[in-house]
Amino acid sequence: MPTQPTVLFHPLNHIGLGHINRLSVIALALRQLDKRIRTPFVIEEASHILLDALGLPYVPLPSSHAMGDTDAWATWTAAERSRLQIDISRSILCTLDPDVVVFDCLPSPAFCDAVVDSELPIVLCMREMRDLSGYLGHTKGLLERASLLVIPHQEGTFRLPEELAAKSCFVGQIARQLTHPTQHVRDPDRPHILISGGGGGYPRTSAFYNLAMNAVAELRSRYPGLKGELIAGPLFREWLRLQPVDGIPVIPFEPDIATRFIESDLVICQAGYNTVAELEQLGTRTIFVPAIRQWDDQFARADRVSRERKNFRMFCGTAPTQLAKLAAEFLIDEIPSVTAAQPGGGMKAARLIYEMLK
């Protein structure tokens, strides 16, 4: 093993926090295994508040979204933009000199190409996809070069082609673990309702926030002492479309979201991988409002966990009145406290990478 090994992490970071969350769990687990290991991140764009909160280092990479989907770089040709991204990617790799590079699901094409060209060992953290065959085709080059596929699900959740299955390992859920478990004492007359949209960067997240806030406002007729709050997420940009509701403060970001979940009587959220994985540990009453995603099937995930656990419900309506009715019924239901063991997938993934270093 190198005297000071470096594992370089590159998650997608434009619209959600799930990718960066998963890799940060693995990075922190590697530090637990060996304090000598350096765990820098390469991140597109400037929203790195989660890494700041966790004390993880990072370097910026030009945003593929800004360069390709906005007018910000319109005066540069496609070739110039591509060359800039590739040159910066190569410079980062040359300077940091990693021993292993870890991607999550959908990396920056330019950075991915630079890593593939460098012939460095590659680990890909790959979760279940709504269109698995489409994803496998989209990332074929990276999958062929990867030395290890880390699957953050239980064995048998989905099947991979034989050539990929041979180098894959199902490690179970990868999610942040509770460091300071707390006990929440409910006041049935003054419920605390938390609205969360994860990273908040997906288009039309504001529509979900407006729906949830209006539903909470309607509940005030039944619970005058109700406390509601919205955590928008560090990637939320649709501020002009947000319709604030009196008495529901909007918080841009909360690094210790798990504790806020515990302190709530009801969480209203979408059904991203990371949000569901964290809530499964806690036992908090939760209403999932799944949203359509290109690669992720939030509807299937919300339906599955709602069938498995008494403290989860799924809402697929569009009217605040309907959501408020479901929330009111849910708050008075007598349900057992349902919690799950803290997931160990992050440490299992870290051990696999640690073996690669040795």
CA 148, chain centre distance (Å): 21
- The pLDDT, as a whole number, for residue 214 is 97
Lowest-pLDDT choice from 49-53, 185-189, 222-226: 185-189
Position 201 pLDDT exceeds 90: no
Percent of the chain with pLDDT over 90: 65
337 confidence band (pLDDT: 50, 70, 90): low
DSSP annotation string for 39-81: --EEEESS--HHHHHHT--EEEE--HHHHHHSSTTTTS-HHHH
Position 340 pLDDT exceeds 70: no
Residue 272, both tokens: 């991203």
Percent of the chain with pLDDT over 70: 95
Scan for tokens 């729906």, then name that residue: 211
- The pLDDT, as a whole number, for residue 339 is 63
Decide: residue 202, CB within 10 A, 0-12 exposed, 13-18 middle, 19+ buried: buried
- The pLDDT, as a whole number, for residue 87 is 94
- The pLDDT, as a whole number, for residue 267 is 97
The identity of residue 21, as a single letter, is N
Position 196 pLDDT exceeds 60: yes
Return the closest-CA partner of residue 65 out of 37, 106, 105.
106
DSSP 8-state assignment for residue 97 = -
By the 8 A CB rule, do 159 and 165 touch? Answer: yes
Position 125 pLDDT exceeds 80: yes
DSSP 8-state assignment for residue 3 = S
For 219, the enclosing helix (H) or strand (E) is: helix 205-219
Position 14 pLDDT exceeds 70: no
Please tell me the distance from the alpha carbon of residue 294 to that of residue 16, in angstroms, as a whole number: 13
- The pLDDT, as a whole number, for residue 338 is 65
DSSP 8-state assignment for residue 234 = T
Query: Tell me: the pLDDT tens digits for 237-290?
Result: 899 999 999 999 999 988 888 889 989 999 999 999 889 988 988 889 999 999
- The pLDDT, as a whole number, for residue 316 is 94
Decide: residue 90, CB within 10 A, 0-12 exposed, 13-18 middle, 19+ buried: middle
Position 333 pLDDT exceeds 90: no
- The pLDDT, as a whole number, for residue 84 is 93
Q: How far is CA 39 from CA 10, 23, 295, in A?
A: 11, 10, 27
- The pLDDT, as a whole number, for residue 307 is 94
Residue 153, both tokens: 């699900």
Average pLDDT over residues 114-143: 92
**Cβ atoms within 10 Å, residue 251:** 14
Please tell me the distance from the alpha carbon of residue 50 to that of residue 194, in angstroms, as a whole number: 19
Mean confidence (pLDDT) of the chain:
90
- The pLDDT, as a whole number, for residue 34 is 96
Average pLDDT over residues 69-91: 91
Average pLDDT over residues 48-71: 86
Position 322 pLDDT exceeds 70: yes
177 confidence band (pLDDT: 50, 70, 90): confident
Return the closest-CA partner of residue 273 out of 315, 304, 229, 313.
304
Residue 5, both tokens: 């090994």
DSSP annotation string for 117-147: HHT--EEEE----TTHHHHHHHTHHHHHH-S
Please tell me the distance from the alpha carbon of residue 60 to that of residue 101, in angstroms, as a whole number: 16
3-class SS shares of the chain: helix, strand, coil, % to 5:
40, 15, 45
- The pLDDT, as a whole number, for residue 100 is 97
In which order are the strands placed within the sheet that holds 122-125? 58-61, 41-44, 7-11, 100-104, 122-125, 148-151, 168-170
Q: Which domains does the chain have, with CATH numbers?
A: 7-175+344-357 (3.40.50.2000), 192-332 (3.40.50.2000)
